[in-house]
Amino acid sequence: MTDQMPGRLSVNPKSPFYNEELLAQEVGIRFNGTEKTNVEEYCLSEGWIKVAAGKAKDRFGNPLTIQLKGKVEAYLKHPAAKPEAE
């Protein structure tokens, strides 16, 4: 796996942008220079994140989200160790 983060990622398993393997490695999100821990989905190219709007749920039990626009940076908190060349 490369160090390059995908342009869009979601924590919802029903989303086409869901990636369980990548999420297992703990993805970190910096939004406008501030670390965010409640991000449901992000898009690097369009510069937005979706965060839960309190404890509100829709009729299917999913959290209601709001979209915030700004500078988005995604990174792996614990990148996998690279094998050393011998």
The answer as to whether 86 is a domain residue is no
Structural domains counted in the chain: 1
The answer as to whether 63 is a domain residue is yes
> What is the residue-averaged pLDDT of the chain?
88
Q: Are 11 and 40 in contact (CB under 8 A)?
A: yes
Q: What is the pLDDT of residue 29?
A: 95
The answer as to whether 3 is a domain residue is no
Give percent above pLDDT 70 in the chain.
87
Domain assignment of residue 68, given as a range:
8-76
The answer as to whether 83 is a domain residue is no
For residue 80, pLDDT over 90 is answered with no
Residue pLDDT, tens place only, 51-62: 999 999 999 888
State the amino acid at position 28 in one-letter form: G
Q: What is the pLDDT of residue 5?
A: 87
The answer as to whether 61 is a domain residue is yes
Q: What is the pLDDT of residue 78?
A: 76
The answer as to whether 64 is a domain residue is yes
Residue pLDDT, tens place only, 62-74: 889 999 999 999 9
Alpha carbons within 13 A on the beta-carbon side of 82: 6
